[in-house]
Amino acid sequence: MAKVKVPRKSISLDMTAMCDVAFLLLTFFILTATAREEEPVVVDTPGSVSETVLPDRDVLVISIDKDGQVFLKVDSEKTRLAMLDKMAGRYQVSFSEGEKNQFRLTEMFGAPIANLKNVLHAKGRERAALQKGIPTDSLDNQLDNWVSYARLAQVETFGVQQQLRIVIKADKDTKYEVIQKVIDTLMKQNLNKFNLITNLEQMPAGFGGERRNH
């Protein structure tokens, strides 16, 4: 049999164009990604089949860790400043410009208002160790005031169109009595709709034929 000679061709491709595309995409993803701030508490949320995604803006997250410590997170810096002013007026605590600036940069906090000064002066690990949660007792319910002032501040800064959405993010081992306290606090202010943050779980086989949107 005569061998058919296939002429050998170089298989090296010009990768430059592909490289360009890849780096373009890379730049896009880096720029659109938002840096996640380190949170002072670890909250391991339970799973659910709910597929609704949490909006990025205008949310007030109440985080509850497994020991029942309550933390608060407001995404807008303006709202944060305004609500600190209101809280300071209510509890007669004055904050310096530097402290206010620190608070503006702190996404999430959880300390009684009297200790907030020390927290704002601390850095990094030390700060996380100082935060022991916002008091929710019926005698000194600071969470109640924080939530109402946050909502007020948000409406004053952004108008009624962008009201805060209340979100509860609790650890799966948190005792229900703490959650109950928080929910009661919210319901006292006539806030009856909230979202619970969960991890996505698979819908079990044989269920969920008709998907409902909440």
Partner 1 sequence: MADVDTGGKGGGKKKGAKKASTKVDMTPMVDLAFLLVTFFMLTTTLSKPNTMSLNMPEKPKPNDPPPPKVDERVTTTIVLDKNNRIFYYKGVETPEVFTTDYSAEGFRKVAVEMVAKGKSLQKDAVFIIKPTAEASYKNVVDILDEMKITDAKVYAIQQLYPQDKEIIQRYKTEHNITD
For residue 136, CA distances in Å to 133, 158, 183 come to 9, 28, 11
The alpha-carbon radius of gyration of the chain (Å, integer) is 25
- Identify which range of 88-96, 108-116, 125-133, 167-175 contacts partner 1 by CB under 8 A: 167-175
Total residues at interface with partner 1 (CB under 8 A): 59
User: Parallel, antiparallel, or unpaired for β 59-64 and 165-170?
Assistant: parallel
CB of 123 to partner 1, least distance (A): 25
CB closer to partner 1 out of 159 and 206: 206
Confirm or reject binding of residue 155 to partner 1 (CB under 8 A). no
Confirm or reject binding of residue 199 to partner 1 (CB under 8 A). yes
CB of 31 to partner 1, least distance (A): 10
Query: Which residues, 6+ apart, have CB-to-CB distance to 14 below 8 Å?
Result: none
Distance CA 120, CA 105 (A): 10
CB of 145 to partner 1, least distance (A): 20
Query: How would you classify residue 159: left for phi > 0, otherwise alpha for psi between -120 and 50, otherwise beta?
Result: left
CB closer to partner 1 out of 64 and 119: 64
Confirm or reject binding of residue 198 to partner 1 (CB under 8 A). yes
User: Parallel, antiparallel, or unpaired for β 70-74 and 108-109?
Assistant: antiparallel
Give kind and range of the element (H or E) at residue 213.
Answer: none
Interface with partner 1 in residues 28-67 (CB under 8 A)? 29-30, 32-34, 36, 45-54, 64
Query: Is there a contact between 190 and 198 (Cβ–Cβ < 8 Å)?
Result: no
Residues in touch with partner 1 (CB under 8 A): 12, 14-16, 18-19, 22-23, 25-26, 29-30, 32-34, 36, 45-54, 64, 167, 169-177, 179-180, 183, 187, 190, 192-201, 203-204, 207-208, 210, 212, 214
